[in-house]
Structure 1
């Protein structure tokens, strides 16, 4: 998988991967509003402390997206907005995308830790993060209420010392 900087041209491809407000909340938390539009994605792509990428599959099609928000002291970052194209899910693209992002974070940026938040009911994402070495540090109960159900969030982290790029 190739990892390249996210562009607004990519946004036109990625936007249809998110089919409604519940999927948008699952992907991005409360940071975006439905319907997801180009001005929101342009503001997101332009955030100075945020690195955003598009994952390109071996056939040249866009298959994923991820971002890192760097902390002020340059020691850690928050992984977020990880998304795999609906037709590419279950084929290893998520692991490949995150392996590239984490390798960049630890080897190129010299970060000591990468953190993330994921909704507890998003089992496939939680399992992938755990395979990559992330561990739950905190459970935040009932952070969102969607369609009458409470959603809890897991705060996870991965230290550089625990990272092994061959895992995933």
Structure 2
């Protein structure tokens, strides 16, 4: 009997935590990212192998569809106007998108190895000063890493840039 009352208390507490993350009046359809967004990777603040080095800024339009099992836990798909599609997921209120970029790291022999690009972002105040769960502006980073051994050595390039995603519709 004691075990079941402890389990009931844990379930009530967990329900209170989930309910507190959800905006008032929100429904499961409102928890995810759905619609058209503009994503910008800011090359002016790029780091190449942890050293600041200007890179071209990249702007793209993303169409995102997602579904959520509960607030903070979602999965979906992103289609970019640059011609790629990739899965997206949210874990603990942070969104992640991981994709392979073919021909990303130049090799000494003239060929090019792949890169692993990882976007990580969360809802933020438009100026990036604080987290804001109700915001349609998301801030984070865009990191791409060469694949070790793809150019015949374990030396890889790692580029990290600030990333901003803004909802259009």
With normalisation by structure 2, the TM-score equals 0.25
Structure in which a larger fraction of residues adopt strand: 2
Structure in which a larger fraction of residues adopt helix: 1
| Rg larger in structure | 2
The structure showing larger relative contact order (alpha-carbon pairs under 8 Å, at least 6 residues apart) is 2
With normalisation by structure 1, the TM-score equals 0.25
